[in-house]
Structure 1
């Protein structure tokens, strides 16, 4: 199937129309001291470890170093940090004249509901009594949901959420609904992915695995892909797999069971964000789909195509998001209200494909897709023996 090539100039024009007028104004991101001489105290809050959180935070810090908020020497420590906690440990030792990453201001719930309530209560107590933090980085949907509230007024920068709007973190793409809250939004990210997948594969029945909860529906992008299914006339075949309140092994087992069930019912699968689907488990979880020659499109853009998904949108690094978060953080610390800063940042629209996967399942990838892809892979990698951070 031949796809139309869209002019880069036209794409830029459309993007410009989506941006607010002040997005074109010259911004000042240069560092300033707190009250003219002190350091800004920064905290970190997450629901648990997830593959994106450490690299997103590293990218944010890299941009802060470029802007002068932190000394570049932080890069040496970050180079070996593999998860959020080790990244935070590096940051607490960072050399900066402007920022202090507070050692005891790190919260994680380890994806456990009971710990989540306890961590939230602990944060709220600190935010309303000690009031010793100037900004908190909130990584992921749980973190955004927990901190996007008027129960406190500490500035919150929500990073790496799958759908800040549907999950209730923000009021709209244009307005967070809270003066102290900012969350990056790409309101049509998953709809664009599924449209592209449908144009290439032409499936009639698309399989989707998700947890039947507000967070699970958000992670799977159901609010976006449901309308696309109705518009394009294909059927969504869903399978429920829990990821919260269960062990890691149980989460992975639930996804495997769903893939075994869906493989007999669908002609394509959209691999969504799920705690059970991670770098170590993906090879095993894709086996039922390979057995039935099912094409797959991964919502995630980190390791999935390398490990056996046929395609995804490209994300060679996290620089584009890290720059956005760092510059937003700089603007907040320089005095802008988080609510007044544009939240919209569209994902890059480049594609990654794995021709080894296509060959294995007997699917003919269109020549235009291969030639236009930012990255084309020719092997399927086995990550099962490599370290991994699982989460959501």
Structure 2
């Protein structure tokens, strides 16, 4: 009997120990598995929304699911620089595992606010001009990311294929956004090589876009837009000016084609988001952002809108339309 009681006691104690260890392991596993990704975008419009959604979908595909083992915290600055700064301070205070900053005006205050929390920028045309990284090599800092920098040579080719005899190209841009100024200077230099003049109109706020566009009527042969966030956020107002004045409108964001542009040669922003998500996953699994080189998306697509071409008084060549990855009627 004494031996049986001893065995029973030992068995009971062993079960208690195993149970405690199991509970501890589960709790530890849960704590270790939960990751926090804080995401901020300067403004919500189709291109930036696609980056956000692509990033989230890639995380889910890699096994990081919101509500299970991932806390996903998204904040939009709604196009306000002051709000972008407030979000940066909040995120740094929250100390997440990774911060994803979409668009230049959101990325700059985040990078300025922390030198320790991993930061992955995305949808930045020129990360060097924005002073996020020094070059395309691994930064050695807490920052890495994805750019949608476009080759101005190919952009000018699209302009010339839509309006072969164009001599004056108009552009509406935000002079306070490094992303826009860099893109403007790149396209300006290439247009000059082709004997084409760039006519500029500043729009510091989204409400300034339509008036700025109207100021160019009668002065230009074609309107071109970069991925300026002010412009893209109210793209329909720009398209209306071009429709009324019969000015062909060309974008560098494929998402703007269905919103009224005749054509656009640009990156697929959802794919850019998926690429961004892959970088975030690498960091969540232990890699340092400073060891991951910044990169650009090489997957460019041509979108064409034949209905917009008709409204804006331009005839597209059959070969040009045929070369498009997507044609909207």
User: Structure 1-normalised TM-score?
Assistant: 0.68
After TM superposition, the structure 1 = structure 2 runs for residues 1-392 of structure 1, keeping only pairs within 5 Å, are: 37-70=32-65, 91=66, 94-96=67-69, 99-101=70-72, 106-124=74-92, 126=93, 132-149=95-112, 151-175=114-138, 177-202=139-164, 203-215=166-178, 217-218=180-181, 221-243=183-205, 251-252=206-207, 254-278=208-232, 281-302=234-255, 304-313=256-265, 318-378=269-329
| Conserved 8 A contact 2:99-2:118 | yes
- For residues 136 and 162 of structure 1, do their structure 2 counterparts lie closer, same or farther at Cα, with a shift above 3 Å needed? same
Q: Give the Å deviation of 1:214.
A: 4.1
**What is the rounded CA distance, in whole Å, between the counterparts of 1:115 and 1:276 in structure 2?**
15
1:186–1:346 contact (8 Å) kept in structure 2: yes
Shift of 1:231: 1.9
Secondary structure of the structure 1 residue equivalent to 2:106: helix
CA distance in 1, matches of 2:131, 2:284: 25
* Structure 2 spans left out of the alignment, 5+ residues: 1-27
Alignment partners' CA distance in 1, 2:29 and 2:265: 40
Report the more deviating stretch, 326-335 or 358-367. Answer: 358-367
Q: 2:34 and 2:116 mapped to 1: Cα distance?
A: 19
Distance 1:216 1:44, change over 3 A: closer
Q: Please, which runs of 5 or more residues in structure 1 have no aligned partner?
A: 1-32, 71-90, 244-250, 379-392
Aligned to 2:19: none
Q: Provide the secondary structure at the position in 1 that maps to 2:171.
A: strand
The answer as to whether partners of 1:150 and 1:178 remain within 8 angstroms in 2 is no
Higher helix proportion: 2
Name the structure with the higher strand share: 2
Give the 4+ runs in structure 1 shifted more than 6 A: 33-36
Partner secondary structure for residue 306 of structure 1: coil
Query: Contact 1:180 / 1:339 at 8 angstroms: preserved in 2?
Result: yes
**TM-score normalised by L of structure 2:** 0.80
Q: Which moved more, 1:143-152 or 1:365-374?
A: 143-152
Aligned residues: 301
Aligned Cα root-mean-square deviation (Å): 2.9
Q: Distance in 1 between matches of 2:31 and 2:76?
A: 32
Is the Cα–Cα contact under 8 Å of residues 273 and 299 in structure 1 kept in the other structure? yes
Whichever of the two has the greater Rg, that structure is: 2
Q: CA deviation at 1:36?
A: 9.5
Task: Determine the C-alpha separation between the residues in 2 that align with 1:164 and 1:180.
Answer: 14
Distance (Å, rounded) in 1 between the aligned partners of 2:83 and 2:159? 38
Contact 2:140–2:291, Cα closer than 8 Å, also in 1: no
Q: Deviations over 1:317-350 (max 9, x none)?
A: 6442132112111211222221222322324232
- 2:300 aligned counterpart, secondary structure: coil
